[in-house]
Amino acid sequence: MPNFQRARSEEQREIRRRAVLDTTARMLEEMPVGELSLNELSRRVGLAKSNVLRYFESREAILLALLDRAWRQWTADLPALLDAAVRADAPVGRRGEQFAATVARSLAERQVLCDLLSAQASVLEHNVSPEVAARSKQAAVANVVGIAALARQHIPELGDNAPQLTAAMIMAIGAVWTHARPSRAMLAAYEADPSLTAYKLDFTTTLSDLLATLIAGTLARASA
């Protein structure tokens, strides 16, 4: 556990902020957002709780900052994945399926991002000041615009509908992630009654199918 001295420069303060975000990300690999406490985070990062709150105004403000960082890391990696997977000479329907499958596979490897997206509206955007809420929403809009540009690049037939499609995709990601991670009680129910596993969702498959359907529907509306 780090033992930080008092930060006296902006560079040192940035090191503290990064340490808080890095520690939060590691904790979210062990536990869901709802179980992450500011007390435990402070202990692990090696700062008093009051000092953590010097850098972030609340637990939720930390999570919003981490969401933006994780989102930007994802969208930085996504162009190369899409370039390799989406065939420019394929029919538009096929390109939509390739785009959807690539997005779903890339997200399946990013537990922290998916967990934060699933809790964004219900948890992360509460207990923050209007200023933090506004900054986080501006960052989210910028991230959506970036993904929309990728969608338009590979599926130009989407035209001006790409941003609306992307916003729907983000909501779908959070919903599928939540339903694809059943509680302990539900896992025990599946084990006790195997017939119930027909309702157990695989995240990658379900998200890929849902995104492909959203893309197909958006294309149909665009051409109408």
Q: Tell me if 211 sits within 8 A of 169, measured CB to CB.
A: yes
Direct distance between the N- and C-terminal alpha carbons of the chain, in angstroms, rounded to an integer: 59
Do 34 and 123 touch, CB atoms closer than 8 A?
yes
Label residues 191-219 b or e (16+ Cβ within 10 Å = b): eeeeeeeeeeeebbebbbbbbbebbeebb
Mean pLDDT, rounded, for 202-215: 97
Burial of 47 (0-12, 13-18, 19+ CB in 10 A): buried
Q: Which amino acid is at 185?
A: A
Q: pLDDT tens-digit profile of 100-118? A: 999 999 999 999 999 999 9
Look up residue 124 and give its DSSP letter: I
Six-digit token string for 67: 């969401």
Q: What angle do CA 212, 114, 81 make, to 5 degrees?
A: 55
Domain limits, the chain: 1-55, 59-223
Query: What mean pLDDT value characterizes the chain?
Result: 93
Per-residue model confidence (pLDDT) at position 200: 86
* pLDDT tens by residue, 67-79: 999 999 999 999 9
Q: What is the pLDDT of residues 115-156, one digit of tens each?
A: 999 999 999 999 999 999 999 999 999 999 999 999 999 999
Amino acid, single-letter form, for residue 10: E
Architecture of domain 1-55: Orthogonal Bundle (1.10)
Query: What's the CATH number for 59-223?
Result: 1.10.357.10
Q: Report which DSSP code applies to 58.
A: S
